[in-house]
Chain A
Amino acid sequence: MKLLTLILATFRELFSKATLYVLLGISTLIMLGTLASVSAEHTDEGVILKAFGNPVSPPTPVEEVETLVFGMQTGLAKGLFFGIMLFGVFATASVIPDSLEKGTVDLYLSKPLARWELLLGKYLGAVAVMLAVILYFIGGIWLGFGIRTDVWNIQFLLSSFTMTFMFACIFSIVLILGVVFRNAAIPIIGSFLYLMFIDNLLDSREEILFLFSESKIYRGILDGLYYILPQIAGMQRSLAEQILHKSMEWKPFVQALLSSSAIFIFSAWIMRRKDF
């Protein structure tokens, strides 16, 4: 009950901010853009997929159109992924530091609420908001593709949950930085850096970072970081496999789940030791 109250309060808190409405507005524009721009023209030679009136595929037999649409959706999902994640972090990062502010944290923690419960409630609240936003966004695009091409790729719709899970993993970084620094700027910058650079560099450490040194310690540290931190790049590849109906690599998800859980537990431990 207390956890549900916290989740709902976080929902209300985030929906009271303009940032989320900007995200929803952009999502709506992209959805409408998809609906207006994507079309399938049936010709004697086959189906031609068009974007903004221009063909994006040669005439394709009807039974192969599905594959083309899956490809388009994969490209779109890849392109939108960073936007959703970055904007999502921007819209939700204040949830943790705001609840730890003097005058607010006193009110929360004077209630029969353990510190980890407060963190969990806020964490799940932020993730729940992003689930709603991503479902709205991806669901809208899925609907647009379905209406315009008659290809109803359920895996694309289900990728909303995959993306939300990925957001939850990124938000664990926002959480720990929020608990440590008690402001929104550092978690935003930290998670942006992680998403845009650190994760990609660690993912391709053998091709790039290992070139700088052959030291076993150096390489051991990089390997350690790769396995400790959530592997977003690995999950992104799996996301593409999901939308393309290929067999998904589950290892990055299991690793990210363990990693994010460990980060959460560590955040709760730091929180427990803090004086407010």
Chain B
Amino acid sequence: MSAISSESLTKVYSDFVNKKLSVTALNDFTINVEQGQIFGLLGPNGAGKTTFIKILLGLVNPTGGRASILGTLLPDVKVRERIGYLPENHRYPGYLTGEQVMLLFGGLSGMNHAETKSRTPSLLKLVGMEQWAKMKVKKYSKGMMQRLGLAQSLINNPDVLFLDEPTDGVDPVGRKEIRDILKRLKSEGKTIFLNSHILSEVELISDRVAILDKGKLLKVGTVDELTVTDTNYEIGFTGSLPENFHHEAAATVMKFRVDKQIISAELKDASELNHLIDMLRRHGIDITHIAKKRTSLEDSFINLIKREVAS
């Protein structure tokens, strides 16, 4: 059973006065997240990431399509007992203490007071907030609020956790701690759905990643699948290249660079790769390895978005 799935999910924010101002936030969005995964949803601002989460949580009504969480077709109030959510720019009542926030949202999750009270200290400890439990939220820093938000999202021991920019405002040490917490939660079998602008972080912890732009799903796959390129190759060789090799290769191959015993080449297709290999072999060069080159998730993301804009 999928933890999260959507089928042709569409959301149009209509402007009834001026139709031209209507915005398609999600366009025929189909995705499937397996249980026990950390899934990262990436996209530039306004891509539709938050809209997707909000549809799943019942905050936004979809215009079309369907979605389900843990096999329950949405909208469904009851399934939210098994969900935790850390929204972006959350606002907790400033007059409450951290502990009281936990009690409030535990109660709203349908838990009884004793149960919430017993879970609160351990969760606050988990996010490093135990010493600030009795302090009023209005005195908290942004990072402390994020930590409290994460603890709050875990109060009902959810099976699926939605985190929208969880490390926003958190210092590097705190980010590492949050990543460790997420890994631990994953090892407990929880599904984590992550929206983040910090691609390097998503790359570090996500099992699968989807890239969304202007409401359209551009690509989905594991981090490896997304970062590997079809056009960039690395060819290892022994010996030295003949003098005329550069000239000869430049005439047929798109772009290439030689660094010590490695040729990095940007090729149009497999025929160019074969051509390059033939050339090397013709000159009696021994090839040690051929590999598709990887880019960082950030480069891959930027390339995808650039291509989308260009098209």
Contact = CB atoms under 8 A, between A and B. Distances in A.
A107 B105 contact: yes
Nearest to B153: A110
Contacts of A275: 13, 54, 59-61
Interface stretch (A98-106, A149-157, A161-169): A98-106
A40 to B, nearest CB: 45
Interface in B73-127: 77-81, 83, 85, 87, 89-93, 95-96, 104-105, 107-110, 112
Given A16-B95, A103-B87, A110 B57 contact: yes
A6 interface: yes
Interface in A100-155: 101-114
Given A2-B110, A13-B93, A110 B80 contact: yes
Given A12-B95, A112-B78, A113-B77, A273 B61 contact: yes
Nearest to B56: A110
A1 interface: yes
Given A275-B59, A276-B59, A110 B87 contact: yes
B46 interface: no
Interface in A5-56: 5-6, 9, 12-13, 16
B189 interface: no
Contacts of A103: 87, 89-91
Given A106-B85, A106-B90, A111 B59 contact: no
| Size bracket, chain A contacts | 20 to 34
B87 A106 contact: yes
B169 interface: no
Given A275-B13, A275-B60, A276-B60, A111 B80 contact: yes
Nearest to A16: B95
B65 interface: no
A112 B110 contact: yes
B221 interface: no
Contact of B59 (A6, A12, A106): A106
B59 A110 contact: yes
A108 B91 contact: no
A17 to B, nearest CB: 9
Interface string A228-271: 00000000000000000000000000000000000000000000
Contacts of A112: 77-81, 108-110
B59 A9 contact: no
B284 interface: no
A10 B92 CA distance: 13
Contacts of B57: 106, 109-110
A106 B165 CA distance: 14
Most chain A CB inside 10 Å of its own CB: which residue of B60, B89, B109, B152: B109
Nearest to A273: B61
B71 interface: no
A109 B107 contact: no
Given A103-B90, A104-B91, A109 B105 contact: no
Nearest to A114: B77
A111 B108 contact: yes
A59 B91 CA distance: 63
A266 to B, nearest CB: 18
A11 to B, nearest CB: 12
Nearest to B57: A110
Contacts of A6: 108
Contacts of A109: 57-59
* Best-surrounded residue of A13, A104, A107, A109 (most CB of chain B within 10 A): A107
B60 A111 contact: no
B104 A9 contact: yes
Interface of A: 1-2, 4-6, 9, 12-13, 16, 101-114, 273, 275-276
User: Which 7 residue pairs of A and B lie closest in terms of their CB atoms, listed nearest first?
Assistant: A5-B107, A16-B95, A103-B91, A110-B85, A106-B87, A112-B80, A111-B108
Given A109-B58, A114-B77, 9 more contacts: A2-B107, A4-B107, A105-B59, A107-B87, A107-B92, A111-B80, A113-B80, A113-B108, A275-B13
25 contacts: A1-B110, A1-B112, A2-B108, A5-B104, A12-B96, A16-B93, A102-B89, A103-B89, A103-B90, A106-B57, A106-B87, A107-B85, A107-B87, A107-B92, A107-B105, A107-B152, A109-B57, A109-B58, A110-B57, A110-B58, A110-B83, A110-B162, A112-B109, A275-B54, A276-B54
